[in-house]
Structure 1
Amino acid sequence: MKTSLYIFILLSILLVADCIAYYFYQISLAGYYSDIILLWLWLLMSLVVIVLFWKKILAKVFLGLMVVTLVLSIAPMGLPFYTFILSMTSAGLRLDKDLNDKYRGQIVGYGVMVYPWLEIIEKHGLLERKILECTEMQLEAFGKERIDVKFETQLSPDLKISEAKDLFLKSETDSTIAITIFYGGPNKTITFDKINKSLKYISEK
């Protein structure tokens, strides 16, 4: 019983540290599935601890908090619940590609009200850091004074990020990085300013 409790405490510390690192510094465990595995291990050990220590009042309170959290996530049209399911399963991953030894690119979608978006991840051994992100709204707004829609779901781009078949690192300098989103023709190349974390050029061919 004590071993299970120690494992639960260790997983809790790792999960909290992982969440804080990602929220404040965009740093997470390497790979798309690492954070997912950590969370599901924590949930599994939570159930184990609840069963083993069911006679304790804290176990009952903990279970109650988990149930209340689940209910509250479903209450507002289920949007937080869908976000959790999409982000903590493979359902939210559209494309995952190692661009080279230094970078990984992924197309993910964690909401039902927005299109999937592109993320560029910098590898650091067992850890990785999201350095760039590009959404459909950013692509639509690039180079324009204003756009005609208020919500991303109202956009109708000819080449959606979510429809990409592959990702390629086209070029990199000290200040820029260019990523080609491959559709099979025409393709879209997005050049980012690494210093300002912003779009610099967009070309299609």
Structure 2
Amino acid sequence: MNQNKKSRIILRVYLILSSLLALDCLLYFNRLISLRGYYSDVVLYWLWFLTSFAVIVIFWKKIMAKLLLGGIILAIILSILPLMMPFYAWILSTTSLGLMIDKNLNEKYRAQIVSYSAMAPPWLEVIEKHGLLEKRILKSTDYQLMNDNLNIKIRTAKDIIFNHETDSTLTLTLFYGGPNKTITFNKNNGEVLKIKTN
């Protein structure tokens, strides 16, 4: 296989990865739908990021390769300037550093405790699986789950346990080793209906 053909194959792979990443971001920000599992989005991003540099090296003589490199460097610099907040969000969301707990609750649901900000506390997400895709159906913060015990926070949970569900509710227990929090959510709007400390 000659060099020209290899370059075209790498460019095609890069364009496919770029399209998949753009579609993944668009679906997540508009519909809360992403690829199944926490690491699938991370792997897709890093494949795109590393392939970007392969394309830059291979097509360095072209102006578009230089513009791509300039765009990547400029995006990183701009994310660092405002107190590094976007930079932290980028690092925490594209690595496992932002993931505290990832738990398959059953064949239908997955739960995770994540934090993509240096300023905001971690939050709980419940995700519904749909084959290769999944959709976030619930997101709860410490503020929503606070009741009589202010020391029991999402970030200190050791496990997430599925209790039961009905057509309109989903009940989980945040396990701390005692006391634990059992929370009933409305599946339609994500509101907390009931919190029981046990």
Tell me which interval the TM-score lies in, with the shorter structure as reference length: over 0.9
1:157 deviates by 2.8
Partners in 2 of 1:95 and 1:197 — Cα distance?
20
Unaligned runs of 5+ in 2: 1-6
With normalisation by structure 1, the TM-score equals 0.91
Q: How many residue pairs get matched?
A: 192
1:179 equivalenced with 2:172 (yes/no): yes
Written as runs of structure 1 = structure 2, the 5 A alignment for 1:143-158 is 157-158=150-151
Unaligned runs of 5+ in 1: 144-155
Residue of structure 2 aligned with 1:197, choices 179, 186, 190: 190
1:69 equivalenced with 2:75 (yes/no): yes
Partners in 2 of 1:182 and 1:88 — Cα distance?
27
| Aligned residue in 1 for 2:133 | 127
Partners in 1 of 2:69 and 2:158 — Cα distance?
42
| Aligned residue in 1 for 2:84 | 78
Residue of structure 2 aligned with 1:28, choices 9, 28, 34: 34
Partners in 1 of 2:35 and 2:119 — Cα distance?
27
1:160 deviates by 1.1
Q: Deviations over 1:27-48 (max 9, x none)?
A: 0000000000000000011000
RMSD of the alignment, in Å? Answer: 1.3
Q: Deviations over 1:66-95 (max 9, x none)?
A: 111000000001000001101110000000
Residue of structure 2 aligned with 1:169, choices 141, 159, 162: 162
| Aligned residue in 2 for 1:107 | 113
The aligned amino acid for 2:145 is L
The aligned amino acid for 1:97 is K
1:197 deviates by 2.0
The aligned amino acid for 1:94 is M
Partners in 2 of 1:182 and 1:99 — Cα distance?
13
Larger mean CA deviation between 192-201 and 1-10 belongs to: 192-201
| Aligned residue in 1 for 2:4 | none
Partners in 1 of 2:187 and 2:14 — Cα distance?
39
The aligned amino acid for 2:113 is I
Residue of structure 2 aligned with 1:58, choices 44, 55, 64: 64
Partners in 1 of 2:76 and 2:155 — Cα distance?
29
